[in-house]
């Protein structure tokens, strides 16, 4: 979660040349992780992923 949050910082997000050099696979992975850790509706995507995961699972405790 910390890495995704850091990559969304304005100073990093503005690095257009760097972002354009990422492979489509890496961009897709970043979008999936961004959606998972989205703060919308109190992290509903993350909570849903933890609820639907197979046990044993170690959730991100900062959101519970």
Structure tokens at 59: 């959730």
Return the biggest CA–CA distance within the chain: 41
Per-residue pLDDT of the chain (64 residues; tens, 9 = 90+): 889 989 999 999 899 999 999 999 999 999 999 999 999 998 899 999 988 988 888 877 776 6
pTM: 0.76
Residue whose C-alpha is closest to residue 19's, from 27, 8, 31, 28: 27
pLDDT at 63: 64
pLDDT at 59: 77
Within 10 angstroms of residue 46's Cβ, the number of other Cβ atoms is: 19
Q: Where are the domains of the chain?
A: 2-63
């Amino acid at each position: 979660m910390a890495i995704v949050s850091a990559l969304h910082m304005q100073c990093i997000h503005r690095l257009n040349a760097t972002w354009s050099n990422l492979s489509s696979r890496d961009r897709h992975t970043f979008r999936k992780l961004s959606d998972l850790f989205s703060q919308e509706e109190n992290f509903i995507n993350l909570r849903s992923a933890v609820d639907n995961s197979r046990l044993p699972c170690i959730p991100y405790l900062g959101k519970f």
